[in-house]
């Protein structure tokens, strides 16, 4: 089962993913994609780490997300991916166009074959104005298309607003 949890910054996405992953009663594997490139981001990462259950396994993976999901999404684990937008940023800043497409395709293929619940957290960035620079516009295009692809294969899609979950899609 895959759940895609979208929302704005500080909308409660990660807390919801953590809550429902815990409610599965399974051991939780937390796949963190953030790159602590500056002091402020290091602070954010540390705040997330402090909040996590000490029994959870945390794996930091900035690029090869599909491989990490495949490795840790085995029967008996619940997996949280936090977050897809930071992963996309890493791809855009570190890889060639061909490798970006390859990573995205591998992610979709991996998520189609899950044996365990996976909760994917991502920022819905495309509700505002069109960004002024080319890289930011490309980011919005790439993450928007990826969200659409994930929405099609997800069992559930939840949109967070002001800490309140809104169910967008639910499989019977």
Residues annotated as catalytic (active site), given as ranges:
48
N-term to C-term CA, the chain: 12
Q: Which residues have CB under 8 Å from 26's CB, separation 6+? A: 76, 77, 78, 116, 117
- H or E stretch including 143? helix 134-153
Q: Which residues have CB under 8 Å from 25's CB, separation 6+? A: none
> How many other CB atoms are found less than 10 A from the CB of residue 108?
14
Q: How far apart are CA 100 and CA 141, in angstroms?
A: 13
């Amino acid at each position: 089962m895959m759940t895609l949890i979208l929302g704005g910054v500080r909308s409660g996405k990660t807390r919801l993913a953590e809550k429902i992953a815990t409610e599965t009663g399974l051991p939780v594997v937390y796949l963190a994609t953030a790159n602590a490139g500056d002091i402020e981001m290091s602070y954010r990462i540390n705040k997330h780490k402090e909040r996590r259950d000490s029994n959870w396994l945390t794996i930091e993976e900035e690029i090869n997300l599909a491989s990490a999901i495949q490795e840790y999404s085995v029967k008996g684990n619940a997996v949280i991916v936090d977050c897809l937008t930071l992963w996309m940023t890493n791809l855009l800043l570190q890889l060639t166009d061909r490798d970006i497409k390859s990573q995205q395709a591998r992610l979709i293929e991996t998520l189609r074959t899950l044996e365990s619940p996976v909760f994917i957290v991502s920022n819905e960035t495309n509700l505002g104005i069109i960004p002024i620079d080319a890289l930011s516009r490309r980011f919005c295009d790439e993450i928007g298309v990826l969200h659409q692809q994930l929405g099609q294969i997800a069992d559930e899609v939840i949109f967070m607003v002001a800490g309140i979950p809104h169910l967008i899609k639910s499989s019977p």
